[in-house]
Amino acid sequence: MHRMFTDFVSMLFPEYCLMCSGPLERGEESICIHCKYNLPVTNHHLSSSAEVLQKFWGKVPLRYAWAYLKFTKQGNVQKVLHKLKYNGHQQIGITLGHWYGHELSAASLNKEFDFILPVPLHPDKLKKRGYNQSDTFAKGLSDSMGLPWYQNVLQKGTFNETQTNKRRLERWQNVKDVYCVKDATVIANQRILLVDDVVTTGSTLEACALTLVEAACKEVSIATIATA
């Protein structure tokens, strides 16, 4: 390959594993094969574990709630998620989405959903960061699950009282921004897989899921890259 072209490709695709910093082989994306096989997977989708689901008990009805990986402080998962969110490494989200989507499809779980929706960022934040890390995971899952994903169906905004009824604002007083559905006909009677990078307290996912339930979806499930 021409030297200049090789350099250009290296600039676009890092040659080193974003977890262990070892060199990447041809065909490896972002994370090397060694790190891939040592990922701290939860296998929630195979064990019907309620570890993530229980965060939402009594708050919003969910069909499934899974996290792909276990997040530990200062661990490798935290390291790559930080790179995904703050250092522009969007490929990490796509790669992890591909891998997780393959696992879900292998268990025929791709048939449980009509489409995928990422948790949206506030437009100001999106403009500042340039991309939504949840979109990258949605895209990867979409590719390997054979399901569509939609970027602007679920939106985040700051609404005034004339746009949002007061009771709703009071209920979400701990959430500064409110989520809304752009076109309720897209949501009605659909089985939705809502995705985000990390689930911690679950308050963001809860607000999004409730918005979808209020828009008369058939059911909501949740999948995240990691659980804290």
d(CA 5, CA 202): 44
The reply to whether 81 sits near Zn ion by the rule CB under 5 A is no
- 19 versus 153: smaller Cβ distance to Zn ion: 19
Among 20, 169, 186, 213, binds Zn ion (CB under 5 A): 20
d(CA 217, CA 122): 23
The reply to whether 77 sits near Zn ion by the rule CB under 5 A is no
Among 28, 29, 30, 32, binds Zn ion (CB under 5 A): 32
Closest contact distance (angstroms) between CB of 150 and Zn ion is 33
**Residue that has been written with the tokens 């919003």 in this structure:** 60
Of 11-19, 38-46, 176-184, 215-223, the window that binds Zn ion (rule: CB under 5 A) is 11-19
Q: Is 150 helix (H, G, I), strand (E, B) or coil?
A: coil
DSSP 21-46: -PBPPTT--SS-HHHHHT--B--HHH
- 17 versus 65: smaller Cβ distance to Zn ion: 17
**Residue that has been written with the tokens 């977890």 in this structure:** 19
The reply to whether 52 sits near Zn ion by the rule CB under 5 A is no
The reply to whether 193 sits near Zn ion by the rule CB under 5 A is no
Q: How many secondary structure helices (H) and strands (E) does the chain include?
A: 10, 6
Query: Which residues of this chain interact with Zn ion, rule CB under 5 A?
Result: 17, 19-20, 22, 32, 35
